[in-house]
Amino acid sequence: MSDTATTIVRSALARSGIELVASCGIAAYDALAPDAYRSAALMPGARGMVVAGSAGSSLWRGFRARVDGAPVHWSEPHPYDAFVAELLARADRALLGAGVGFRRFDAAFAAPVRVDFVALGQLVGLGSPGPFGLLIHPEHGPWWALRSAWLVDADVDPPADPRRPCMGCPAPCVGGWKNATASVAHATAQVRSLCVIGQASRYDDDQIGYHYDRAVTVKRLRG
């Protein structure tokens, strides 16, 4: 097999809105994971971890096109997660087609196994801790989200550039580093909007509303 599992996942998810894909070798993953989450417990024989995320509004707009065309999807328990899962299945099929064994973990509300996606995102170089509980991406700032991860029994690419975009920033988002916190509860839409990184990737207003007050937003969007 000439392609790594990383490039297989990246190609499968191209133009899906879930286009941030990075990875790390299994030794790096196991060094960070608690005993119950190491590869020996979750997938013996795994050789790497591939992580995928979305940025900006591309994924959301695809979701809106789907539910606007078939409003019945609003009645699903977690319609956005269901939409994301269908897209992630493209990567599953591509890995299977390439003969790569894998185990997938989703950053979804009802995911049966809850892995630490913040730790994974940092491990593969997709983001670094910011002053308000979110990983900050070098290009997209706080306007991105992790969606899934695959333990794989194939070669993977090395981690992405671990550049830390918050280094040297005065942290106007929280009124200075003296107010920094690791609590995601402080990652309000207003705070994210004050980040000096990635404002070109800012979520659409209805997307922000869905994430912060889903019930009210769904009611409004259903009309």
Domains, the chain, with CATH or none: 5-222 (3.40.109)
State the pTM of this model.
Answer: 0.93
In 3D space, the residue among 132, 100, 133, 111 whose CA is nearest the CA of residue 23 turns out to be: 100
Q: How confident is the model at residue 219 (pLDDT cuts 50, 70, 90)?
A: low
Q: How confident is the model at residue 114 (pLDDT cuts 50, 70, 90)?
A: confident
pLDDT digits (tens, 9 = 90+) for 174-199: 999 999 999 999 999 999 999 999 99
Q: Which amino acid is it at 223? A: G
Secondary structure string (H, E, C) spanning 185-209:
HHCCHHHHHHCCCCHHHCCCHHHHH
**Nearest-5° Cα angle at 56, 55 to 62:** 95
pLDDT digits (tens, 9 = 90+) for 45-104: 999 999 999 999 999 999 999 999 999 998 888 999 999 999 999 999 999 999 999 999
